[in-house]
């Protein structure tokens, strides 16, 4: 019988809590110029993932008020086909 030498279990790597430096302030509160509007899909697109999902508040850093507005405007824009519901089907 072969003796199996167990390797010392690799200690679980401590993951750094925040991989990305996130913007803590809501960009719509800080920037009066930035407007939330379904007619501005360029602005809304920043808050969509590759698969066209809306980025959650804890990541985007938006305040509750603006996140609510954001989802509403994104949904409006989707309805008008200015934004995708999902990534393109292949
Ligand atoms: Zn805000």
Domain extents in the chain:
27-79
Report the alpha-carbon distance of residue 10 to residue 3 in Å, rounded: 20
Six-digit token string for 10 = 């690799």
C-beta atoms surrounding 30 within 10 Å? 11
- How is the chain split among helix, strand and coil, in percent rounded to 5? 30, 0, 65
Write out residues in the chain with pLDDT < 70, as ranges: 1-23, 89-90
50 CA distance to ligand 1 centroid (A)?
A: 23
Q: pTM score > 0.75 for this model?
A: no
Which CATH fold topology does 27-79 show? 30s Ribosomal Protein S18 (4.10.640)
Q: What pLDDT score was predicted for residue 6?
A: 63
* Ligand 1 center–CA 69 separation, angstroms: 9
DSSP strands (E only) in 1-90: none
pLDDT in tens, 46-65: 999 999 999 999 999 999 99
Largest CA distance in the chain: 74
């Amino acid at each position: 019988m072969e003796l199996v030498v167990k390797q010392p279990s690799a200690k679980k790597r401590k993951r750094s809590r925040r991989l990305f430096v996130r913007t803590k302030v809501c960009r719509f509160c800080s920037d009066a110029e930035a407007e939330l509007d379904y007619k501005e899909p360029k602005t809304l697109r920043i808050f969509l993932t590759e698969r066209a999902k809306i980025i959650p508040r804890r990541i985007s850093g938006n305040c509750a008020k603006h996140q609510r507005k954001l989802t509403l405007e994104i949904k409006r824009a989707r309805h008008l086909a200015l934004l995708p519901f999902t990534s393109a089907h292949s």
